[in-house]
């Protein structure tokens, strides 16, 4: 059975061997995430080579996504190990304190502007929101806080300000170095952590292009400022090739009660603005140590699918978990179950007042026909860049879209688009009059359609020039 929603898996110690990477591809992984927060450049080079070798061996198209660390603000380290902060006590965050001198009373911070960004009454959340501090006063480099919710605090745990407002730039020195690494590795996508606005994404894209990188840019939506103003969110989405709903830091900054509604809003706006969207963080968290997901996790993944996400992402589950292959298999099963739901097969049609681009008009026409003409079983999109199948994938249908392209970069690029599969097909090597017949034969030979099925074909006018989809045909296999 065809699965439209894609699976992104993070590579880590539990999944870095050639054998495990091949097993994960066989289980259904479409995109592997290289987390630049961990490992050296040499480690990532090795992983990228292994993934591409495993993909080739499996004869499956798999994309690579590099994820920049970003300005994660963290406490420093404790002299004698983790401390237990008690509710009602006072605790100091000091940007000038020796980074190894933390104790039960105070700890250093790796972000020098923390004192400048905070005000008395602010809420600071540590360790993914498990510890809550209220700022009492600020004295130079020292931010003195009341412990509202205590807990165990250990080295290098993150700090968030509830409601956002920390002014750290989206690109750190390390990120700029990793942008060159991403270009060297010829990654298909590069994710930018903690962007505040469209300008952050545009800067990262410019630096990536200057380094020689050709991959798409993914904006991780994880700051409160990014979702507080609908225009800021739309601008961020437009500046990107796709976005990630990075629910960890986002939930800490906006509060968990607001997260579900914001997630749905981000998915809806990304689809409306013709960008792909990845839903991430703790989707199958219990499977780090359990062979089966919880019912809540099943619902979480399924609801993201029903909302229209292009991909769902695994982090610790595949990076360090005990059951990486079983987790991917479970996610594959849940996605298929959700995609069988009646909600997924209700036609979804946009009715814009006008269309300016011919390829968008052809894509929308193809999806209308696919959803309304009896007997249509598949769509073939002849594509140079992957733009037309991406536009098609924005409209809900249970029908597979096959991106026929001769370009390996395009094949990998479309691997993340919902409902899109790719087939290597070189138009230049085929006489124009034979293209449609040979393309349909590809699907027949692979068992993807049957004789008598109707198939839609979109392509450019290859008698004149490459590129620029301007034709829709309906053929019978």
From the list 3, 50, 220, 269, the catalytic residue is 220
- List the beta strands (DSSP E) in 88-246: 90-94, 106-108, 123-126, 131-139, 142-149, 151-153, 159-161, 189-192, 216-221, 242-246
- Across-strand partners of 387? none
60 is catalytic: no
DSSP 298-349: HHHHHHHHHHT-SEEEESHHHHT-S-HHHHHHHHHHHHHHHHTSGGGGS---
Helix (H, G, I), strand (E, B) or coil at 90: strand
- Kindly tell me the burial class for residue 130, based on how many C-beta atoms sit within 10 Å of its own C-beta (0-12, 13-18, 19 or more): middle
Tokens of 111: 């972000």
Q: Which of 125, 133, 127 lies closest to 152 in space, CA to CA?
A: 127
The phi and psi torsions of 287 (rounded to 5 degrees) equal: -80, 0
Whether the Cβ atoms of residue 385 and residue 278 lie closer than 8 Å to each other: no
3-state helix, strand, coil in the chain (%, to 5): 40, 25, 35
Specify whether the backbone of 30 is left (phi greater than 0), alpha (psi in -120 to 50) or beta.
alpha
Instruction: Please state, in angstroms and as integers, the Cα–Cα distance from residue 423 to each residue in 59, 61, 363, 370, 395, following that order.
Output: 11, 9, 19, 20, 21
Q: Determine how many CB atoms are found less than 10 A away from the CB of residue 170.
A: 22
Tokens of 85: 């902060």
Whether the Cβ atoms of residue 80 and residue 153 lie closer than 8 Å to each other: no
Distance CA 197, CA 145 (A): 30
From the list 10, 281, 327, 405, the catalytic residue is 281
162 is catalytic: no
281 is catalytic: yes
- Kindly tell me the burial class for residue 446, based on how many C-beta atoms sit within 10 Å of its own C-beta (0-12, 13-18, 19 or more): exposed
Distance CA 298, CA 292 (A): 10
From the list 3, 6, 50, 74, the catalytic residue is 74
Say which residues have a Cβ less than 8 Å from residue 198's Cβ, sequence separation at least 6: 232, 235, 236, 238, 239
From the list 3, 6, 22, 33, the catalytic residue is 33
33 is catalytic: yes
The catalytic site residues sit at 33, 74, 220, 281
């Amino acid at each position: 059975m065809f699965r439209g929603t894609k699976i992104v898996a993070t590579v880590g110690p539990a999944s870095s061997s050639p054998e495990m990477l091949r097993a994960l591809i066989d289980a259904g992984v479409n995109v592997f995430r290289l987390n630049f927060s961990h490992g050296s450049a040499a480690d990532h080079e090795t992983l990228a080579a292994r993934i591409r070798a495993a993909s080739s061996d499996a004869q499956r198209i798999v994309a690579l996504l590099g994820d920049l660390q970003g300005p994660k603000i963290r406490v420093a380290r404790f002299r004698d190990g983790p401390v237990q902060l008690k509710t009602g006590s006072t605790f100091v965050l000091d940007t000038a304190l020796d980074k190894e001198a933390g104790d039960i009373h105070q700890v250093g911070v790796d972000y020098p502007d923390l004192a400048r960004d905070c005000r008395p009454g602010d809420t600071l959340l540590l360790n993914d929101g498990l510890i809550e501090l209220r700022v009492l006063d600020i004295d130079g480099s020292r931010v003195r806080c009341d412990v509202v919710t205590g807990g165990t605090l250990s080295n290098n745990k993150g700090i968030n300000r509830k409601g956002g407002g920390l002014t750290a730039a989206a690109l750190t020195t390390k990120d700029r170095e990793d942008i060159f690494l991403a270009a060297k590795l010829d990654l298909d996508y590069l994710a930018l952590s903690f962007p505040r606005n469209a300008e952050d994404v545009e800067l990262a894209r410019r630096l990536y292009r200057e380094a020689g990188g050709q991959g798409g840019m993914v904006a991780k939506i994880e700051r409160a400022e990014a979702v507080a103003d609908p225009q800021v969110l739309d601008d961020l989405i437009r500046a990107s090739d796709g976005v990630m709903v990075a629910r960890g830091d986002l939930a800490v900054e906006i509060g968990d009660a607001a997260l579900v509604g914001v997630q749905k809003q981000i998915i809806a706006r990304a689809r409306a603005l013709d960008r792909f969207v990845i839903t991430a963080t703790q989707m199958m968290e219990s499977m780090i140590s359990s062979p089966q997901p919880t019912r809540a996790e099943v619902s979480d993944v399924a609801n993201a699918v029903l909302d229209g996400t292009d991909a769902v992402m695994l982090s610790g589950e595949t990076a360090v978990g005990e059951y990486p292959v079983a987790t991917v298999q479970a996610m594959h099963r849940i996605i298929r179950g959700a995609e069988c739901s009646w909600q997924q097969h209700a036609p979804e049609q946009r009715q814009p007042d006008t269309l300016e681009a011919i390829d968008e008009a052809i894509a929308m026409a193809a999806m209308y026909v696919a959803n309304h003409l009896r007997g249509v079983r598949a769509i073939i999109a002849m594509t140079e860049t992957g733009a037309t199948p991406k536009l098609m994938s924005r409209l809900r249908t249970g029908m597979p879209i096959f991106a026929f392209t001769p370009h390996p970069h395009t094949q990998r690029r479309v691997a993340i688009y919902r409902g899109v599969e790719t087939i290597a097909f070189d138009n230049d090597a085929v006489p124009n009059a034979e293209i449609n017949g040979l393309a349909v034969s590809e699907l027949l030979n692979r068992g993807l359609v049957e004789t008598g099925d109707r198939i839609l074909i979109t392509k450019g006018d290859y008698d004149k020039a490459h590129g620029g989809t301007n034709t829709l045909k309906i053929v019978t296999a």
